[in-house]
C-alpha cells in the first residue's frame, strides 16, 4: 500500500469515527434528557461537554490535520466517546423500560377456579349445579363469565365456608371460587382442599383499580409494601403475607417502617359484616389491603409496592450480600450480625415457627431485611449496577406510583447519594379464635389488635408526616 493510500485510509477512518460519535451522541443525548432522573447539576456539566466534543469533532474533520499523533488521539478519544454514548443510551433505555414495566396493567383480571369433589364423576358440560360466593364484589361479572364455562344452574352462598359445605353435602356439583382462595382452603381446611379437583379456570375483568394521585415527593407520604406468599409473577392475586407501611420523608431521607401481623383481625375496607385476617384482604386485590390498613391507622395511603419472595431473592443477588442483626439464634443464624446471600435472606425473612411470638418476630425480621436492602442500594458503588438493578426490579415488583413520581425519587437520590435513616416498629395483639368474613362460620386463628400499640403507631406515623 502506497503512502498516499495509507493517508487516505487514515483520513477515512477518522471520518468514520467522527460519524460514529455524532450518530451515537444524538440518541444518547435525547435519552439522557428524556429519562428525567439525572439531576440538573449534572446536566449543566454534561451538556457543555457534549457541545465541546461536537466542536472538536467538526474541527478535526474540517481541518484534516496530517499529523499522525493528532489523528490517533482523535480516534482513541472518539472510540471512548462512542462507548460512553452507547452506555448512556442503554441506561436511558433501562430507565424507560423500568418505569413502564412496574406500572400495573391498564386492565386487571381476577382468576377463578371451578372445582368438584374428586370422588364424584362430574363433567363441566353436563353438570347440573354450580355454587358461587354471593358476597364477592365481582359476583355479577363472575356469573356471566361462568355461564360460558358450564351450563350448570347457579346458586349463591353467603361465604366461602358455606359454599364448601354445600359442595361437600352434594347440594351443588361444582363450586366457583377465586383462585387466591385456594390457598386459604389449603391452609385452613386441608381435608376439603385435598378432596377436590380443579376442572377449569377463567378470568373476570375488574374495573375497580384506583389510580394513585400525583404527589410532591419532597413532602412526606405513606407507601404500602405488600409481600405476597407466592413465587413467580408478581401480578398474581394472592394473600398478603407481608403488610408494612413505609412512612417516607424523601427530603430528610427518613423512613418509618410499621409492620402489621398477617393475622391481625381487622374490618375490611367498605365491607360490612365480620372482620377478617389482614392477610385475606389481598384476595380481594391490592387496593383492599391498602385501604384496610389506611382505616386501621387513620391515614391516607396513596401508594403501594407489591413484591413476592422471588423479588427478594433477585434483589439481593444484584446488590450483593446484606448484613442483618438477628434478635435470636435459629437454624444457621446467630444472634447478632449475619451476612446473608439471597438464599439465606429468603430463609431469614420467611421463618416464624422458631419464635415464641411467631409472625410478629417474622415481621421484625422482614423489617431488618428491608432496612439492609435500602442501605445497600443507597451505596454510591451500586451506581455501577444501575442497569442490573433496574432490570431486576422491573420484573420483581409492581407499584401504582406514576412514572413521574418514581423518576423524581430516583433523581433526588442521585443528586447526593445521601443514605436513609430507617426506624422500625410493630403493632401487637393477642391470639384468639374467631369467625372471619372470608371463611364464614369456620373459626380461624386471628390476632386481636392491641389498641395501645395501634395508637402508638398512629402517633409515630403522624410525627413522620409532619414536614
Consecutive H or E run containing 271: none
The domains found in the chain, sorted by start residue, are 3-101 (no CATH), 108-206 (3.40.190.10), 221-465 (3.40.630.190)
- Per-residue pLDDT band for 296 (boundaries 50, 70, 90) equals very high
Selection from 146, 413, 81, 400 nearest residue 255 by Cα: 413
Read off the pLDDT of residues 176-193 as tens digits, 9 standing for 90 and up: 999 989 988 998 899 999
Read off the pLDDT of residues 230-245 as tens digits, 9 standing for 90 and up: 665 666 667 788 899 9
Average pLDDT, the chain: 85
pLDDT, position 60? 66
pLDDT, position 6? 60
Q: How far apart are CA 433 and CA 297, in angstroms?
A: 23
**What is this structure's pTM?**
0.80
pLDDT, position 173? 96
- Per-residue pLDDT band for 66 (boundaries 50, 70, 90) equals low
Asked if the model's pLDDT at residue 65 lies above 60, the reply is: no
Read off the pLDDT of residues 122-150 as tens digits, 9 standing for 90 and up: 999 999 999 999 988 889 999 999 999 99
End-to-end CA distance of the chain: 74
pLDDT, position 411? 84
In the chain, the percentage of residues whose pLDDT exceeds 90 is: 40
pLDDT, position 304? 92
pLDDT, position 260? 94
Q: How far apart are CA 434 and CA 444, in angstroms?
A: 6
44 or 302, higher pLDDT? 302
- Per-residue pLDDT band for 208 (boundaries 50, 70, 90) equals low
Q: How far apart are CA 435 and CA 212, in angstroms?
A: 33
Asked if the model's pLDDT at residue 64 lies above 70, the reply is: no
Kindly state the cell numbers that stand for 330. Answer: 435459629
**Three-state secondary-structure class, residue 278:** helix
Q: What is the DSSP letter of 36?
A: -
Read off the pLDDT of residues 91-121 as tens digits, 9 standing for 90 and up: 777 788 877 877 777 667 889 999 999 999 8
Read off the pLDDT of residues 350-402 as tens digits, 9 standing for 90 and up: 888 898 888 788 888 888 888 888 888 777 776 667 677 777 777 778 888 88
In the chain, the percentage of residues whose pLDDT exceeds 70 is: 90
Read off the pLDDT of residues 150-164 as tens digits, 9 standing for 90 and up: 999 999 998 899 999
pLDDT, position 114? 97
In terms of Cβ atoms closer than 10 Å to its own Cβ (0-12, 13-18, 19+), residue 76 is exposed
Asked if the model's pLDDT at residue 84 lies above 80, the reply is: yes
Q: What Å distances lie between residue 408 and 35, 63, 67, 215, 249, CA to CA? A: 10, 44, 48, 10, 13
Q: How far apart are CA 74 and CA 76, in angstroms?
A: 6
Query: What is the rounded radius of gyration, in angstroms, for the C-alpha atoms of the chain?
Result: 28
Read off the pLDDT of residues 403-461 as tens digits, 9 standing for 90 and up: 888 888 888 877 877 878 889 899 999 999 999 998 888 899 999 999 999 999 999 99
Amino acid at each position: 500500500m502506497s503512502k498516499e493510500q495509507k493517508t487516505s485510509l487514515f483520513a477515512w477512518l477518522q471520518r468514520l469515527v467522527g460519524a460514529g460519535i455524532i450518530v451515537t451522541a444524538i440518541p444518547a443525548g435525547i435519552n439522557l434528557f428524556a429519562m428525567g432522573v439525572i439531576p440538573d447539576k449534572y446536566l449543566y456539566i454534561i451538556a457543555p461537554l457534549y457541545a465541546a466534543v461536537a466542536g472538536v469533532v467538526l474541527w478535526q474533520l474540517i481541518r484534516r490535520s496530517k499529523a499522525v499523533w493528532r489523528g490517533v488521539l482523535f480516534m482513541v478519544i472518539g472510540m471512548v466517546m462512542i462507548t460512553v454514548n452507547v452506555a448512556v443510551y442503554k441506561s436511558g433505555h433501562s430507565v424507560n423500560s423500568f418505569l413502564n414495566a412496574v406500572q400495573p396493567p391498564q386492565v386487571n383480571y381476577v382468576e377463578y377456579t371451578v372445582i368438584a369433589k374428586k370422588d364424584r364423576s362430574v363433567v363441566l358440560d353436563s353438570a347440573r349445579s354450580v355454587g358461587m360466593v354471593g358476597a364477592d364484589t365481582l359476583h355479577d361479572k363472575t356469573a356471566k363469565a361462568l355461564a360460558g364455562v358450564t351450563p350448570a344452574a347457579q346458586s349463591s352462598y353467603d361465604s366461602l365456608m358455606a359454599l364448601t359445605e354445600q359442595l361437600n353435602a352434594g347440594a351443588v356439583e361444582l363450586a366457583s371460587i377465586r383462585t387466591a382462595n385456594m390457598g386459604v382452603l389449603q391452609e385452613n381446611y386441608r381435608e376439603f382442599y385435598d378432596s377436590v379437583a380443579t376442572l377449569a379456570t377463567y378470568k373476570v375483568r375488574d374495573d375497580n383499580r384506583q389510580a394513585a394521585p400525583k404527589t410532591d415527593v419532597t413532602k412526606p407520604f405513606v407507601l404500602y409494601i405488600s409481600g405476597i406468599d407466592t413465587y413467580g409473577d408478581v401480578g398474581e392475586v394472592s394473600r398478603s403475607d407481608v403488610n408494612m407501611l413505609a412512612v417516607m420523608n424523601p427530603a430528610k431521607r427518613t423512613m418509618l417502617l410499621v409492620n402489621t401481623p398477617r393475622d391481625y383481625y381487622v374490618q375490611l375496607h367498605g365491607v360490612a359484616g365480620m372482620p377478617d385476617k389482614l392477610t385475606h384482604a389481598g384476595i380481594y386485590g391490592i387496593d383492599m389491603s391498602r385501604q384496610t390498613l389506611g382505616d386501621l391507622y387513620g391515614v391516607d395511603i396513596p401508594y403501594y409496592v407489591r413484591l413476592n419472595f422471588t423479588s427478594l431473592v433477585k434483589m439481593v443477588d444484584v446488590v450483593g450480600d446484606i448484613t442483618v442483626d438477628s434478635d435470636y439464634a435459629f437454624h444457621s443464624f446467630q444472634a447478632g450480625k449475619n451476612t446473608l446471600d439471597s438464599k439465606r435472606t429468603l430463609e431469614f425473612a420467611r421463618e416464624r415457627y422458631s419464635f415464641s411470638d411467631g409472625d410478629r418476630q417474622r415481621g421484625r425480621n422482614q423489617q431488618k431485611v428491608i432496612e439492609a436492602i435500602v442501605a445497600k442500594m443507597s451505596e454510591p458503588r451500586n451506581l455501577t449496577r444501575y442497569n442490573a438493578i433496574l432490570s431486576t426490579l422491573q420484573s420483581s415488583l409492581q407499584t401504582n406510583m406514576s412514572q413521574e413520581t418514581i423518576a423524581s425519587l430516583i433523581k433526588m437520590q442521585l443528586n447526593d447519594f445521601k443514605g436513609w435513616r430507617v426506624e422500625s416498629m410493630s403493632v401487637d395483639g393477642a391470639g384468639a379464635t374467631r369467625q372471619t368474613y372470608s371463611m364464614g362460620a369456620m373459626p380461624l386463628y386471628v390476632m386481636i389488635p392491641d389498641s395501645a400499640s395501634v395508637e402508638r403507631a398512629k402517633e409515630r406515623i403522624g410525627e413522620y408526616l409532619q414536614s
